Structure 1
Amino acid sequence: MLRWTITFIIIAIIAGILGFGGIAGAAASFAKIAFFIFLVLFVISLLTGRKKV
């Protein structure tokens, strides 16, 4: 999931440099959503991994 975020950030930067504002905005917003999903899944995996008794 973090790789997708980095990929879309790079696409957004390249599209922004080349002047494609719509594509850059869409890629940046998708990267933000993917990053927050990654954070939620990471926290959930940390919490469930600590339940070994």
Structure 2
Amino acid sequence: AQESASLLRIKDSFKKIIIVKDDIKPKRNEDGILTIGLKDFLLDKNSLNY
């Protein structure tokens, strides 16, 4: 999608994360980009380990 296109152009080793306002189950796509809901990102101290 549009959100991930700009992240894919960055060639580095940092984690790529898309934070959405919807309450969704965290998922990682085939390119390794994590999509996570805002609530989980803010309240779950392990949210970056998905």
TM-score using structure 2 length: 0.27
More helix by share: 1
Higher RCO structure (Cα 8 Å, ≥6 apart): 1
TM-score using structure 1 length: 0.26
More strand by share: 2
